[in-house]
Amino acid sequence: MNIRMHTFGSCLKAIRRLQRFGHLPSDASVFKSYAVDGNFSDVRLAALEALVDFTAGLLMRCFYVYILNIFSS
């Protein structure tokens, strides 16, 4: 059972990586359902890591747009 759950957590990490590199559309809702209480702890941890990474990516993107707007004006 632990091996399957560990593998599922790895799948969540792989999905986020594919999102980060633009191969899949970025969608945080994929991870929200697995981050809630009641899921296996390794699965929750992987989902929470992906949500944190997703949020950090949004903040960075806003920063880059801000910088590009400064240079274009």
Q: What is the mean pLDDT of each run of 10 residues along the chain (73 residues)?
A: 68 93 90 86 88 78 72 64
Residue 26: predicted pLDDT: 87
Rounded to whole angstroms, the Cα distance separating 11 from 45 reads: 12
Please state the pTM of the whole predicted model. 0.72
Q: What is the DSSP letter of 73?
A: -
Instruction: Report the number of distinct structural domains present in the chain.
Output: 1
Q: Which residue has the tokens 């633009």?
A: 22
Q: Write out the residue range of the structural domain in which residue 23 sits.
A: 2-72
Question: DSSP character for 1?
Answer: -
- Map 6-63 to HEC letters: HHHHHHHHHHHHHHHCCCCCCCCHHHHCCCCECECHHHHHHHHHHHHHHHHHHHHHHH
